[in-house]
Structure 1
Amino acid sequence: MQVILLLSLSNIFMTIAWYWHLKGGMNKPLFGVILLSWIIAFVEYCLAVPANRIGFAGGWSAGQLKVAQEAIALIVFGIFMVTVLDEPLHWRHGAAFTCIMAAVAFLFVGK
């Protein structure tokens, strides 16, 4: 549970670092946007690295950690996309999410 919580928090910071500037920040100087994004991403790394270490030490494989991170990233990004960027969800988003969740299931079945 600690791994999922840390990965979730890291993905919130990652999504903000990568996409915050798309709404309201497009007129800001690129260098400043990059610098602020790197500062935000530092927090993401401070959460993701321990999450991966704890998960790996707890018996998760690197593949399981990566696929879990991608599934969490899609959930976080979907919420961000709808609430911050005001973009609608389409059936394609659901289909893509289903494929990622199937990948998660394949890596965790029998483990």
Structure 2
Amino acid sequence: MPVTPTLSTYVMPIVLLLFSNIFMTFAWYGHLKFKATPILLVIAVSWLIALPEYILQVPANRFGSAVYSAVQLKTIQEVITLSVFVGFSVWYLGEPIKWNHLAGFALIVVAAWLIFLE
């Protein structure tokens, strides 16, 4: 007998992807505030930050595959990545987001919407 997905079946992968993207954004871009830090140290710290990201992302994709296709999971991840990055860029790096950045991100969201059409 097939199991009916619950709300948490749909939401849990998204929550895990959100937190994994926060870690990954810090791993990839957090070092930009510390440009005097030696590159090998930056790489080592980035790898340490990325480990929790993988611990969250792998289960997100595994659990999510019960209700989403691989293309849908990747699309969800990309939209979350852009959302996290906008906040990170403004609040952590102090870089402004311009109208053309938002317009480009909006087009990506429209593309994501197209992927979810049945």
TM class by shorter-chain length? over 0.9
TM-score normalised by length of structure 1: 0.93
Identify unmatched segments of 5+ residues in structure 1.
none
From 97, 100, 104, the equivalent of 2:108 is: 100
Cα distance, 1:72 vs structure 2:
0.3
Alignment pair present for 1:3 and 2:13: yes
Structure with the greater alpha carbon radius of gyration:
2
Q: Which amino acid aligns with 2:88?
A: F
Q: Which amino acid aligns with 1:77?
A: F
Alignment pair present for 1:84 and 2:66: no
- Give runs of ≥4 in structure 1 deviating > 4 Å: none
Cα distance, 1:107 vs structure 2:
1.3
Q: Which amino acid aligns with 2:31?
A: H
Cα distance, 1:33 vs structure 2:
0.6
**Aligned-pair identity (%):** 51
Q: Report the secondary structure of 1:50's partner residue.
A: helix
Cα distance, 1:57 vs structure 2:
1.9
Cα distance, 1:93 vs structure 2:
1.4
Match of 1:30 in 2: 39
TM-score normalised by length of structure 2: 0.88
From 50, 58, 75, the equivalent of 1:49 is: 58
From 3, 19, 30, the equivalent of 2:29 is: 19
